[in-house]
Structure 1
């Protein structure tokens, strides 16, 4: 009796498609706002993917992408056996590792320090000051830093000569170039990177701090046992993304800073790909280089997420 009565009721339930369509109609204005973003990814991210086939072809402009003959993995063999690619690969890993070590904790530390400031006006001033560099392009910043560190008119070398030292051509010195790249990258991104951690801090229940104060916990212990554990899920996810991006590099920064004198330590995968693709017109090699970078990045993200999930409950999926 109950089964027979339940059958017509189940048949009257709307299907999944109708529920899906109803929700889209209900939130149609929100989806219209999302449409430009979807079009951006469709046009500039997904549609160009057909060009990946160039990595497996001996591209000739007169034949076009689909008319050019296939050459299997020859582009990858030539890429890995080349003289410049291993050097660019090594430089990319070193620079990305330094940026991960020094750049990843910096926004976390800044967010915690800002969270401890009780004077609201001063806090907003520091936040604004730390955000501003993010909105300046590397073209502008490269000119500014080259003036600051100029061996003839830079303020840094001015103080060095005042103290009796010899001027240093920082951007032409191999021993200084990586340090400048890492430090300027950290300086530019620390304020903007702290936003997501400040958002995580704002969601912490204030009653936890009140209970800790009653128990006699110092500010440092509150940070150690309440603030950091509460931020751990966000820190974990951001760390996975950071490790996945260790094979990538900031092309705009390196391209505007490096020169022939520091090629040995400054040439990275993105500048190498640009050089062989745009200046040497080796489109098959440049596509193979880009595909190689993306595959390694995907492997790193999956591996890091798997390891993190094994030792904690947090992860991307």
Structure 2
């Protein structure tokens, strides 16, 4: 008869599996997994910090009576004196009027016309003709404002200018008009010049958004009997609504920071009261006469107002259309 063993069974302790090591989670795990991507982006991050964030330290000049010959510790602090002088200057409000007028006109024309152009270009069926029109339309973007200013001035000249000659030949006017010498024409000239130069380039992003719309939606609409206009209104425009919203928010953020290249190239002494914008004002009344603190105060005002406009536009768009950039 077999006898049962009463000795306890021995286990091989060495064979017991070890608990798995904890993997690194969170941000560090993401960095390790995408380390090459982060390394590639580092030069751009450094560039952004050096040229966009580090210069913010220069805003301290707006609260000083800055003298280039003195060190930072030797500068005289004057508080908000430069801002008080800015808001008491009548010229500032004239310049602010010009800036807002040209920026609002540019905002309206710079959105409606490129969107319309992109939608119409998308409706073209001829592939080669469509590519030719698109190429020709965005070529002016690569032309500098120095050249564009010369072209516009020559076209509007009373001495051989094509615009005046055409208007006279059509008997719309009896004698040539000095467009560049009358302030009432300046805002429209700047807006029209900017539209001609940038419409093709701005339309590219809308065309890219249109190509992302599902083609089956158009086929279903055609089956239901919808014409081209109905397809544009009910499919194309809603399909690029997010792109339009994002670009609109960013454009509103730059409403008063419109630069000065266009105005500088097209302006002259006869239309200064209509051509001077905030950036030109900072250049003329700040840097050119060595009032560095005053010029910094103007630029700081522009930046702060731009941030407020950006956040306000983003908040309104987020509540109304559920679209935002942050």
Query: Structures share a fold, TM > 0.5?
Result: yes
Is structure 2 residue 82 aligned with structure 1 residue 69? no
Larger-Rg structure: 2
Q: Deviations over 1:115-138 (max 9, x none)?
A: 101100000011001111111110
Closer/same/farther in 2, CA of residues 66 and 288 from structure 1, 3 Å limit = farther
What value does the CA root-mean-square deviation take over the aligned residues? 1.6
How far has the Cα of 1:280 moved from its partner?
1.1
Which sections of structure 1, spanning at least 5 residues, go unmatched? 1-7
How far has the Cα of 1:13 moved from its partner?
2.4
Candidates 208, 213, 233, aligned match of 1:204: 213
Is structure 2 residue 48 aligned with structure 1 residue 45? no
Is structure 2 residue 29 aligned with structure 1 residue 22? no
Candidates 280, 291, 316, aligned match of 1:271: 280
Distance 1:257 1:66 in 2: 42
Is structure 2 residue 247 aligned with structure 1 residue 235? no
Distance 1:17 1:232 in 2: 33
Is structure 2 residue 297 aligned with structure 1 residue 288? yes
How far has the Cα of 1:31 moved from its partner?
4.0
How far has the Cα of 1:48 moved from its partner?
1.6
How far has the Cα of 1:287 moved from its partner?
0.5
More moved, 158-167 vs 113-122: 158-167
Distance 1:18 1:309 in 2: 32
How far has the Cα of 1:190 moved from its partner?
0.8
How far has the Cα of 1:62 moved from its partner?
2.1
**Is the 1:54–1:65 Cα contact (8 Å) retained in structure 2?**
no
Count of residues in Structure 1 that have an aligned counterpart in Structure 2: 306
Distance 1:74 1:202 in 2: 54
Q: Deviations over 1:71-90 (max 9, x none)?
A: 11110000111121111011
Distance 1:276 1:113 in 2: 45
Closer/same/farther in 2, CA of residues 248 and 13 from structure 1, 3 Å limit = same
With normalisation by structure 2, the TM-score equals 0.89
How far has the Cα of 1:271 moved from its partner?
0.6
- Which residue is equivalent to 1:12? 22
**Is the 1:240–1:304 Cα contact (8 Å) retained in structure 2?**
yes
Is structure 2 residue 267 aligned with structure 1 residue 251? no
More moved, 59-68 vs 103-112: 59-68
**Is the 2:31–2:38 Cα contact (8 Å) retained in structure 1?**
no
Candidates 75, 78, 81, aligned match of 2:85: 78
How far has the Cα of 1:161 moved from its partner?
4.1
More moved, 126-135 vs 96-105: 96-105
Is structure 2 residue 315 aligned with structure 1 residue 315? no
Distance 1:260 1:18 in 2: 60
Candidates 114, 119, 125, aligned match of 2:121: 114
- Which residue is equivalent to 2:132? 125
- Which residue is equivalent to 2:155? 148
Which sections of structure 2, spanning at least 5 residues, go unmatched? 1-18
With normalisation by structure 1, the TM-score equals 0.92
Q: Deviations over 1:179-209 (max 9, x none)?
A: 1001111111111111111111011001111
More moved, 265-274 vs 160-169: 160-169
Closer/same/farther in 2, CA of residues 129 and 72 from structure 1, 3 Å limit = same
Candidates 174, 178, 181, aligned match of 1:172: 181
Distance 1:313 1:208 in 2: 23
Which has the larger helix fraction?
A: 1
- Which residue is equivalent to 1:92? 99
